[in-house]
Amino acid sequence: MNIDMNLQNYIDWEVKNVFPIKNKFGYRVILKYIDGSKKIQQKSGFNTEKEANIARDITVGELYSNTYIVYANISMADFLVYWVEEDIKNRVNSYNTYISYRNVAYNHIIPQIGKKKLYELHRGDIQSMYNKISLISPSMVRLVKTVMNVSMKYAISKKMISINPAEGVPLPKTIKKNKYHVRNINYQKTLNLEQVYTLINASKDTPIYLQVLFSVLMGLRRSEIIGLKYSDIDFIAQTLTIQRQLGRKIENDIYYKPKTLTKQEVKLKTVSSYRTLKIPDYVFEAILNEKEIYEKNKKRRKNTFVDNGYICCSTYGNSRSKGFQYKYFKKILAENDLPNIRWHDLRATYCTILLKNKFNPKVISNLMGHSKEIITVDVYGDNKQIAADTTEEILEFLEEDIFDYNNDVKEPLLDIYIDIKDIN
Same domain as 319, residue 212: yes
Q: What are phi and psi of 183, to 5 degrees?
A: -135, 140
Q: What residue numbers bound the domain in which 33 lies? A: 5-65
Same domain as 83, residue 59: no
- What pLDDT was estimated at residue 1? 60
Q: What is the DSSP letter of 103?
A: H
Cα–Cα distance between 309 and 286 in angstroms, integer? Answer: 16
Here the CATH number for the domain that contains residue 137 is 1.10.150
- What pLDDT was estimated at residue 26? 95
Q: For the segment 38-48, what is each residue's pLDDT rounded down to a tens digit? A: 999 999 999 99
Same domain as 223, residue 81: no
Cα–Cα distance between 329 and 195 in angstroms, integer? Answer: 13
Same domain as 306, residue 374: yes
CB count, 10 Å around CB of 77? 19
Which of 65, 84, 112 marks a domain boundary? 65
* pTM of the complete model: 0.68
CB count, 10 Å around CB of 91? 10
Query: Domain tally for the chain?
Result: 3
With pLDDT > 90 as the criterion, what percentage of the chain qualifies? 55
Same domain as 374, residue 308: yes
- The answer to whether residue 170 is domain-embedded is no
Q: For the segment 122-161, what is each residue's pLDDT rounded down to a tens digit? A: 999 999 999 999 998 888 999 999 999 999 999 988 888 8
- The answer to whether residue 162 is domain-embedded is no
Q: What are phi and psi of 31, to 5 degrees?
A: -100, 130
Same domain as 80, residue 61: no
Flag residues of the chain having pLDDT under 50.
180-185, 374-390, 405-424
Same domain as 211, residue 88: no
